[in-house]
Structure 1
């Protein structure tokens, strides 16, 4: 029942985030139809919206202003709902032992840890971390011809939501290269960064984080960044 509750929390949060993105895009669309473009980013739109409506009052009709204002109110309501759901998830993560162990993995926080526990429980459905990575769709498709294996794009099969979360976690780690030496997989990451495109590197790191997370969950031991064997998981 607890896993079902967690799944419900994540489904609702994911739907609310999608609705918020759609609302922000609709506000941008309304402004673009008036010939007004706002630089990318939700923060930029939020901080400049009312200044735009004030400065362009002679170009934007009162009806359009009211419509945009209503969309902005929807945006604020969605923000509040997302924050409420996120707080509930963080509360669960704070008291759940499995989540606490998972959060010892670099890049893994309350959202990923609870989503993983909700999706796979204690991880016993998989024999090894590689199987979990394949289930997430983070492994490349393989084609063989003439006895030569060719690796293609990742399969993108399995749990799309959890796969997205791990890729986001990988991107956060890649934004802070000064922290890489702190991790047991730091040397691998430093070397891979010189050979791989940023997107490929993020996917490879997401796969490694997923496999490490499975090991932490399955063996009920926190991740130790100083253990050499952790880099080989």
Structure 2
């Protein structure tokens, strides 16, 4: 059983994610309806800029305005609530000692830190850090029969939100962060030899181990770290 604090963190993150999804759904609905009238919005519009781009096009036509302005208004309300929850997420992470430490790892932001902390809750539940990666389904399945012992795809067991968050953090570490580190160099070598998808999964698996080790040890990230104590 997780603590009340852990359930509260997970509820905050789930609500924030749900509001963003609904905001995107309404934006896509508006795009689809506008296309019927021959109006195409730019393919990439930031969430905060969508209303400013779409509303002038809609308000020029009374028929469109009558049908779509309420949709834009509803989307804007949802987006404002999302921004408020997003601020709460960042504030919660910045005020939590464990999350501040976890965020010293390149690619790990407030959402990743809070998601990991809320899912683990008590790090002492795992005797070995390596089992954390297996708990969240980031270790390969093994197919054994006679003399054959072949690793397969990752098991995808456990909390899919944590797995997706670790994958996103690993992708950001490899593709977006500019700071050099041993774990990034190791991951980039895997990109060249195994491909990007497998490399990101491998880095996500190491991040799960590393974050748990840092939590247990009370240490911050060092550039010479690849994985943690296993």
Correspondence for 1:83:
83
Which residues in structure 2 correspond to 1:44-123 (within 5 Å)? 46=50, 48-53=53-58, 57=61, 62-123=62-123
Q: Could you tell me how far 1:232 is from its partner in structure 2?
A: 4.0
Q: What TM-score, normalized to structure 2? A: 0.85
Q: Could you tell me how far 1:51 is from its partner in structure 2?
A: 4.8
Number of aligned positions between the proteins:
223
Q: What TM-score, normalized to structure 1? A: 0.84
1:13-52 deviations in Å (ceiling 9; x for gaps): 1221221122122112212333444343342982542354
- In structure 2, runs of 5+ residues without a counterpart are none
Distance 1:149 1:40 in 2: 46
Distance 1:178 1:87 in 2: 25
1:158-188 deviations in Å (ceiling 9; x for gaps): 1111111111112222223753xx2122331
Deviates more, 1:43-52 or 1:150-159: 43-52
Contact 1:122 1:218 in 2 (8 A): no
Q: Does 1:154 align with 2:159?
A: no
Correspondence for 2:226:
231
- In structure 1, runs of 5+ residues without a counterpart are none
